[in-house]
Amino acid sequence: MVSAKTSNRELRAIGASPGIAIGPVRITDRSRVAVVESEIDPAEVPAEAARFRNALAAAEAELRGIKERLEAARGPEHLYVIDTHLLILRDSMLTRETVGTIETELINAEAALKRTLQKFKDFFAGIGDEYLRERSGDVETVIERILRCMVGQSQVSVNDVEGRAIIVSHDLSPADVLQIDKSRVIGFVTDLGGKTSHSAILARALEIPAVVGLERVTAEICDGDVVIIDGGTGVVVINPDQETFRDYLRRKQHYEYLERELLKLRDLPAVTTDGHRILLKGNVEFIEEIPSLQGHGGEGIGLYRTEMLFFNRRELPDEEEQFAAYAAVVREMAPRPVTIRTLDVGGDKFVPGLNLSDELNPALGLRAIRLSLRQPETFKPQLRAILRASALGKVRIFFPMVSGVAEIRAVKALLEEAKQELRGEGKPFDEGIEIGIMIEIPSAVIVADLLAREVDFFSVGTNDLIQYSLAIDRTNEHLSHLYEPLHPAVLRSLKMVVDAAHAAGIDACMCGEMAGEPTYLPILLGLGFDELSMNAVSILRVKKILRRCSREEAERLVARALSFPTAQEVESFLQGEIAAHYAESFD
Ligand code: PEP
Ligand code: MG
């Protein structure tokens, strides 16, 4: 460990949850249990296997205890993550692999469990999708808990701090984050973790500033050091000098002032100066995100990604389980509308229960709606579950990666069958449920006029539309400079989509990341979008600008923007316009 004299040292990693915190550090030991492998006698196998099973039961009892305490103290919110960990504990593969290794390799239970962990890690490491890759962190957290039970190590509480402190830890489990008492713990930094790890998602939902993925921060900071963490930029400063300290104190005050100011807009309508209303909604993956969405004035869920229900497990969720999950989201959001997207997996979003084979071009492969149409036995229960949830509140359903009319017709035929079945069974659903499609493939843009006759709304997925239009892999960091939302081809596509929607009298929505970028708002407004859906914290920033724009001016701006031949020229034009007309909205 470096001495406490380390001064003004700046580290940079992943800003997992925005906000600035300044305070003394409390190192919370979440280091890995050290495991020594030893050989055992065949006669010792039953005793070792029993030690493992007992630790498994003890870990389950611990997690249940935490869940009950949290439920009693704060209600059921956010407990989904603990349920996920309970599911991992109960996964038969965990027991089968570990006991199998004890039996065949004749090694102690701790070492066998570590080998199981390594197998899980190898499996997850090969997955392209960042979100999925990070699920390996959940497995590791669960296995560490079992290991601690096996070696009899207990864990100090995250709230065991003097005064108010910033926690520094090798890793924090979602259960740790859920237990944080914000009057004591003002932020956290960890060696491990990524932007979409469950702990990061919960930190954002609970609005606790956090920087993760620092790799060696626990070795670089001492208990009692003062640190600054900026959860927006991912910066950590250890023992700041006076100038840095003052600078961040100012930034923190400014940030908090802006947040307070933004929150004043929460209940004001998202309306332009010339009276045009645009719906601002949120993208949601976990029910835990809903309070934050409501806290930021979200007018509904514009994209509920259902794939999260299917990850991390060997058997697919059946209709009842899906119904329960969708119903919970619809009830929690009521009376606001929820737009539920059917399963968008396949390719690099791997779901074990779907038995998919490897593909050379996963982004162009058997995924999303193509997969659902190929596997009606998986698709139908999802359609039925969504339809049934529509009896409980305002629900819209939409479909990912539709490439043309034949596909949406096939989907509608299956949806009709599902409706017929439910009618026959006397199960209620909204007969007038609206259906929509994601527009994220260039062919869908080109035939948008034909597609508009088939559905009630479009929602543009710019993350994929940009990827497919410009042939730029959205996950390839070497190509990120070419991933240009303002590329003339993208802007023209957006215009075609909105124009086709409006000509057919249906709504044009957007739920890709572009919708949550405040600087693009004048363009999206000028193009005529009716609804934008984004992450919760962007909503008020976008609303602030929207309330200062006039649609008429935005339309003129778009006409100019569309005349430039390169993304760079559009960008510098847009920056110039913002500086000239909207500068004060962007502070
Ligand atoms: C998109 O492609 O823009 C989108 C919203 O869907 P996803 O990011 O889930 O692919
Ligand atoms: Mg997409």
Domains of the chain and CATH, by start: 9-30+156-261 (3.50.30.10), 42-151 (1.10.274.10), 272-586 (3.20.20.60)
Q: How many CB atoms lie within 10 A of CB 446?
A: 14
Residue 453 has pLDDT above 60, yes or no: yes
Residue 479 has pLDDT above 90, yes or no: no
Helices 488-503 and 551-561, interaxial angle, to 10°?
A: 130
Q: How far is the CA of 513 from the centre of ligand 1 (A)?
A: 8
User: Whose CA is closest to 266, among 455, 541, 454, 46?
Assistant: 541
Q: What are the tens digits of pLDDT across the range 382-409?
A: 999 999 999 999 999 999 999 999 999 9
The maximal CA–CA distance of the chain, rounded, in angstroms, is 83
pLDDT of residue 1: 43
- The reply to whether 198 belongs to the active site is yes
User: Whose CA is closest to 524, among 501, 546, 541, 547?
Assistant: 546
C-alpha angle with apex 174: 172 to 179, nearest 5 degrees? Answer: 90
Radius of gyration of the chain (CA): 25
**Ligand 1 pocket test, candidate residues 464, 483, 534, most atoms within 8 A of CB:** 464
Report whether 179 contacts 159 (CB < 8 A).
yes
Give yes or no for residue 464 CB within 6 A of ligand 1: yes
pLDDT of residue 42: 92
Pick 536 or 195 by higher pLDDT.
Answer: 536
Element (H, E) at 94: helix 92-105
Provide the CB-side half-sphere exposure for 107 (13 A, CA): 16
In order of 160, 187, 252, 406, the CA distances from 163 in angstroms are 10, 13, 20, 63
Q: Which residues are bridge partners to 436 per DSSP?
A: 398, 457
Alpha helices by DSSP H, 454-587: 462-470, 488-503, 521-527, 539-546, 551-561, 567-577
- 459 three-class SS: strand
Q: Which residues are bridge partners to 168 per DSSP?
A: 27, 189
Candidate ranges 245-259, 313-327, 443-457; pick with highest mean pLDDT: 443-457
Residue 477 has pLDDT above 70, yes or no: no
Q: What are the tens digits of pLDDT across the range 149-169?
A: 887 776 677 887 788 999 999
Q: How far is the CA of 283 from the centre of ligand 1 (A)?
A: 10
Closest residue (by CA) to atom 4 of ligand 1?
461
Task: Give the tokens for residue 395.
Answer: 């629900």
Residue 196 has pLDDT above 70, yes or no: no
Give yes or no for residue 511 CB within 6 A of ligand 1: yes
Beta strands, E only, 324-443: 338-341, 395-399, 434-439
Q: How far is the CA of 476 from the centre of ligand 2 (A)?
A: 16
Pick 302 or 92 by higher pLDDT.
Answer: 302
- The rounded distance, in Å, linking the Cα atoms of 552 and 554 is 5
Q: Counting atoms of ligand 1 from 1, which one is nearest the CA of 512?
A: 3
Give yes or no for residue 159 CB within 6 A of ligand 1: no
Report whether 326 contacts 286 (CB < 8 A).
no
Alpha helices by DSSP H, 152-192: 174-179
Band of pLDDT at residue 198, cut at 50, 70 and 90: confident
Task: Give the tokens for residue 554.
Answer: 């935005």
In order of 33, 53, 78, 147, 341, the CA distances from 90 in angstroms are 21, 11, 20, 15, 29
Give yes or no for residue 305 CB within 6 A of ligand 1: yes
User: Whose CA is closest to 437, among 397, 388, 389, 393?
Assistant: 397
- The rounded distance, in Å, linking the Cα atoms of 280 and 406 is 31
Residue 132 has pLDDT above 90, yes or no: no
Provide the CB-side half-sphere exposure for 454 (13 A, CA): 24
Counting beta carbons within 10 angstroms of the beta carbon of residue 549, is it exposed (0 to 12), middle (13 to 18) or buried (19 or more)? buried
**Ligand 1 pocket test, candidate residues 463, 470, 493, 534, most atoms within 8 A of CB:** 463
- The reply to whether 276 belongs to the active site is no
At a CB cut-off of 8 Å and minimum separation 6, what does 285 contact? 201, 304, 305, 308
Percent of the chain residues topping a pLDDT of 70: 94
Q: Counting atoms of ligand 1 from 1, which one is nearest the CA of 511?
A: 5
User: How much is the pTM?
Assistant: 0.75
Pick 507 or 79 by higher pLDDT.
Answer: 507
Q: How far is the CA of 400 from the centre of ligand 2 (A)?
A: 7
Residue 3 has pLDDT above 60, yes or no: no
Band of pLDDT at residue 580, cut at 50, 70 and 90: confident
From the centroid of its chain, how far is CA 295?
Answer: 17
Average pLDDT across the chain, whole number: 89
Which position has the token pair 């389950």? 60
Give yes or no for residue 147 CB within 6 A of ligand 1: no
Residue 480 has pLDDT above 80, yes or no: no
Residue 440 has pLDDT above 90, yes or no: yes
Q: Counting atoms of ligand 1 from 1, which one is nearest the CA of 344?
A: 9
- Catalytically annotated residue among 78, 198, 296, 487: 198
Report whether 109 contacts 52 (CB < 8 A).
yes
Measured torsion, CA atoms of residues 551, 557, 561, 562, in degrees rounded to the nearest 10:
60
Q: How far is the CA of 252 from the centre of ligand 1 (A)?
A: 32
pLDDT of residue 121: 80
Beta strands, E only, 232-288: 235-238, 279-284
Beta strands, E only, 306-351: 338-341
Left if phi > 0, otherwise alpha if psi is -120 to 50, otherwise beta: which for 196? alpha
Residue 311 has pLDDT above 80, yes or no: no
Give yes or no for residue 467 CB within 6 A of ligand 1: no
Q: Counting atoms of ligand 1 from 1, which one is nearest the CA of 283?
A: 5
- The rounded distance, in Å, linking the Cα atoms of 271 and 287 is 28
Residue 443 has pLDDT above 60, yes or no: yes
Looking at residues 271-293, what average pLDDT do you find? 92
- The rounded distance, in Å, linking the Cα atoms of 339 and 397 is 6
In order of 285, 308, 399, 404, the CA distances from 305 in angstroms are 5, 7, 11, 22
Lowest mean pLDDT among 98-107, 334-343, 475-484: 475-484
Residue 429 has pLDDT above 60, yes or no: yes
- The rounded distance, in Å, linking the Cα atoms of 530 and 279 is 6
Q: How far is the CA of 347 from the centre of ligand 1 (A)?
A: 14
- The rounded distance, in Å, linking the Cα atoms of 537 and 342 is 25
The answer to whether the peptide bond before residue 317 is cis (omega within 30 degrees of 0) is no
Task: Give the tokens for residue 465.
Answer: 């539309």
Q: What are the tens digits of pLDDT across the range 46-80?
A: 989 999 998 898 888 888 888 888 788 767 666 77
User: Whose CA is closest to 80, among 283, 393, 324?
Assistant: 324
